Amino acid sequence: MTAEGAKEFEALEAQAAAIMTLFAAKGYVRVAPAFIQPASLFLDRIGEKLRARTYIFSDPSGQELCLRPDLTLPVARVFLERGAGAGVSKFCYNGPAFRIQAKPERLRTREFRQAGIEYYGARGIDADLEVMALTLDAVRSCGVLDFTIRVGHIGLVRALLNALDMPQRWRDRLARAFRRQAFAQELEILSRSQADRAPALPETALSEDGFLAHLDAKAVPFIGLRRPTEIVKRLQHKAADVQEPPLSAETVRLARDYLATRGDVDTALDRIASLAAEASLDLGPVMDEARALLDGIKKLAGCAPVVFEADFGRHFEYYTGMVFRIDAAGVERQIAGGGRYDGLIHALSGGASDVPAVGAAIHTERLLVAASGR
């Protein structure tokens, strides 16, 4: 953990106790997910790319396990194990998470602590605003008053992609790239000529057996983090892409103009509405919902700046709506963040439960640094 000394540990414990008391007073039930989780819980939902940042190992039976790199999915698993009903469930937690860091820093460590809340069962913006309000209450109660809220909206990105002329497969591809902050790169690839998008492998390699046989024939060892099935699926998509005409210059311009939109909430949303109107695009009810939500966040923020950034997306792919982070003065890394992830429970349950959710996590070690001014 970051806090090596007794004083730092005691300060973290006292801060965590105060935050947990605040969460409990608002009706959030404390849960403590296991540190060791099935690796598939994260890799299947977030993707094999996470493998390089996760401590993964196998038990004697060969099952892949991991030290939890995040607490949202383990808490969702607790929710499912307790029986996901039709009503509202509210959970809170505090504890360590673990991620491999190529270059560990003081505020970006291999082991770090998070305190957070998860609100299941409500689709409206009232739940989003409750989570935001409680997160801000926790930050302020610990003495941090000088901060900025950065906000994005995955739902707006999806609405834009759905309104633009392109295959559904490309919409999904761009949406995934957006969450990995690689949207501009994928946009450029899909605007290339068909010949430039051709896969480098022969058609016979577009099955798992054919792919492995191709590697064997070329004496290329299979070394990597991705499974052959996942690689072949991507190659099949690339092959299908060759049959599609490139994105039009107008589609690319609209997407880039959207990405470049940022600033105070009202100005940014007005700009997005103007872009849609100029191109005769219908963004549906998402635009009105986003405006109402962001107006509510502005009221909760008080004097704190709220900045909308159209290209802001969180790294984990399960977010579907509002996403946010809180940056404190003097602290390089965010002290809190979260958002809405309505499809997560449906995916984890294999379609058995379709429960909307919104949540937030506070990096308590960073919060302590921001509060102490050290």
**Tokens at 227, concatenated:** 């499974």
Q: Is 119 exposed, middle or buried (0-12, 13-18, 19+ CB in 10 A)?
A: buried
Strand order in the sheet with 89-98: 29-30, 89-98, 111-120, 357-363, 336-340, 322-328, 147-153, 306-309, 262-264
Cα angle 285, 286, 291 (rounded to 5 degrees) comes to: 105
Alpha carbons 365 and 108: distance in angstroms, whole number:
10
pLDDT in tens, the chain (374 residues): 444 566 788 889 999 999 999 999 999 999 999 999 999 888 777 666 678 889 999 999 989 999 999 999 999 999 998 876 667 899 999 999 999 987 777 767 889 999 999 999 999 899 999 999 999 999 999 999 999 999 999 999 999 999 998 989 889 888 878 765 688 888 888 888 765 655 555 665 566 666 566 556 666 665 555 667 767 666 656 666 666 788 899 999 999 999 899 999 999 999 999 999 999 999 989 999 999 999 999 999 999 999 999 988 765 567 889 999 999 988 988 999 999 999 889 888 887 788 999 999 999 999 999 998 76
| Length of the chain, in residues | 374
d(Cα 88, Cα 117) in Å, to the nearest integer? 13
CB count within 10 Å of CB 352 equals 10
Task: Output the 3-class SS for the chain.
Answer: CCCCCHHHHHHHHHHHHHHHHHHHHCCCEECCCCCEEEHHHHHHHHCHHHHHHCCEEECCCCCEEEECCCCHHHHHHHHHHCCCCCCCEEEEEEEEEECCCCCCECCECCEEEEEEEEEECCCCHHHHHHHHHHHHHHHHHCCCCCEEEEEEEHHHHHHHHHHCCCCHHHHHHHHHHHHCCCHHHHHHHHCCCCHHHCCCCCHHHCCHHHHHHHHHHCCCCCCCCCCHHHHHHHHHHHHHHCCCCCCCHHHHHHHHHHHCCEEEHHHHHHHHHHHHHHCCCCCCCHHHHHHHHHHHHHHHHCCCCEEEECCCCCCCCCCCCEEEEEEECCCCCCCEEEEECCCHHHHHCCCCCCCCEEEEEEEHHHHHHHHHCC
pTM summary value: 0.84
Instruction: Determine the pLDDT at residue 311.
Output: 87
355, with CB counted inside 10 A (0-12, 13-18, 19+), is buried
Q: Tell me the HSE value of 200 on the side-chain side, using a 13 A CA sphere.
A: 3
